[in-house]
């Protein structure tokens, strides 16, 4: 009996030592780009089911909605750190949101990993902010290579959303690479929420472009595509990863058939064994094919979880020292090498950026179909 009591006491002592590790998830669950947040959250939940604990400690996800707003993006990060006492943050989706929230995370010395923010400024000069995706110099360059080499385009018009850091940055990198390849390009501007693009399209048509490249997000891209087709444009339409949402098709309809966009993942391009596992789990849970944002949410969670586990295996005492834990996790995220993710093998460099290939998709029969891959060594820098 005494021996049994001893075992019970020891068991309770071990259980008492286990802590709950809180991870903040800051996403646009409502507002203009809520589809992005919802898809990313689906992938994060799948990843959490794969790895719900690290070093024997339960991971608790704390979801905060930034409402698709820059100000709320910063406020949500502050709440996660100050009120929820999270060890780290997964977020955010849009580059402008990650710039706003990342500044807070950096100031408060809390690691943040963005699944999909591609603007180089998101991580530039920061120690605590990293990402699971490629950056826009690669994405813009890959789009230019695809347009020039695969589509045969020589004249391009770029539609730039001047309110979005993502759009401005992607525009610059596409234009630079397209010109370097030998193409000519002009630029027109619009704002988030615009509904009428007839003036910009008229300017574009006067240039007789082979391709229109839209660097903003899916709501405006769908409308631009519809209005361009209505005004007689018959050439190619392309965009960046900001176009990947089912709403592109539901808003754009027939006008977005044949639209190409650069992205991070496609289920038909199984890059790793983890890709197949992720696709099977996602289909079982959600009864549909996973998006690139779901795959990136999945990868961001597991990169963070593995970084936390490496820290706790080396320093188990950090579970009771929040700031030491945060500092060590920020460093360990950037030690990620050849991580086997759903979106491919990921290495995070010293700047906090993921090094990986770029996938190109095309809208075909109302679905996103695989169109090709552009590798880093193909991109003019």
Residue 156: pLDDT over 60: yes
Residue 147: pLDDT over 60: yes
> If you average pLDDT over every residue of the chain, what do you get?
93
Q: How confident is the model at residue 12 (pLDDT cuts 50, 70, 90)?
A: very low
68-97: per-residue pLDDT in tens? Answer: 999 999 999 999 999 999 999 999 999 999
189-236: per-residue pLDDT in tens? Answer: 999 999 999 999 999 999 999 999 999 999 999 999 999 999 999 999
**Shortest CA distance to 66 belongs to which of 104, 109, 98?**
98
Weakest mean pLDDT among 37-46, 105-114, 139-148, 368-377:
368-377
DSSP 121: G
Report the alpha-carbon angle 104-105-109, nearest 5.
120
Residue 269's pLDDT is 80
Residue 7's pLDDT is 43
Residue 381's pLDDT is 66
Residue 13: pLDDT over 50: no
Residue 8's pLDDT is 45
The whole-number average pLDDT for the span 37-57 is 98
Residue 124 neighbours by CB under 8 Å, 6+ apart: 351
The whole-number average pLDDT for the span 271-284 is 92
Residue 328: pLDDT over 70: yes
Q: How many CA atoms lie within 13 A of 310 on its CB side?
A: 16
Could you identify the residue written with the tokens 């759009």? 167
């Amino acid at each position: 009996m005494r021996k049994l009591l001893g075992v019970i006491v020891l068991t309770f002592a071990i259980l008492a030592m286990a802590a709950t590790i809180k991870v903040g998830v800051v996403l646009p669950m409502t507002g203009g780009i809520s589809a992005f947040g919802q898809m990313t959250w689906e992938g994060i939940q799948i990843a959490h089911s794969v790895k719900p604990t690290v070093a024997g400690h339960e991971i608790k996800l704390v979801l905060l909605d930034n409402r698709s707003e820059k100000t709320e993006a910063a406020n949500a990060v502050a709440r996660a750190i100050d009120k929820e006492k999270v060890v780290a943050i997964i977020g955010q989706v849009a580059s402008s949101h990650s710039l706003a929230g990342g500044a807070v995370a950096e100031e408060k010395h809390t690691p943040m990993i963005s699944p999909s923010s591609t603007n180089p400024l998101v991580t530039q000069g920061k120690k605590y902010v990293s990402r699971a995706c490629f950056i826009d110099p690669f994405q813009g360059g890959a789009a230019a290579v695809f347009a020039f080499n695969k589509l045969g385009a020589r004249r391009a018009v770029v539609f730039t959303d001047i309110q979005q850091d993502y759009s401005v940055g992607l525009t610059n990198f596409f234009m630079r690479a397209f010109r370097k390849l030998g193409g000519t390009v002009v630029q027109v501007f619009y704002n988030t929420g615009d509904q009428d693009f007839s003036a910009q399209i008229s300017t574009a048509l006067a240039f007789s472009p082979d391709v229109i490249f839209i660097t903003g997000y899916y709501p405006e891209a769908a409308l631009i595509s519809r209005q361009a087709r209505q005004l007689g444009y018959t050439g190619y339409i392309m965009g960046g990863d900001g176009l990947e949402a089912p709403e592109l098709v539901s808003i754009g309809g027939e006008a977005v058939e044949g639209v190409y966009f650069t992205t991070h993942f496609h289920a038909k391009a199984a890059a790793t064994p983890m890709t197949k596992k992720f696709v099977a789990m996602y289909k079982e849970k959600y009864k549909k094919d996973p998006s690139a944002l779901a795959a990136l949410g999945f990868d961001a969670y597991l990169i963070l979880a593995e970084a936390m586990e490496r820290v706790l295996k080396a320093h188990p005492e950090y579970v009771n020292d929040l700031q030491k834990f945060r500092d060590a996790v920020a460093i360990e995220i950037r030690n990620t090498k050849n991580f086997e993710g759903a979106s491919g093998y990921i290495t995070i460099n010293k700047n906090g950026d993921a090094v990986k290939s770029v996938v190109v998709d095309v809208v075909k029969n109302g679905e996103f179909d695989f169109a090709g891959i552009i590798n880093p060594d193909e991109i003019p820098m």
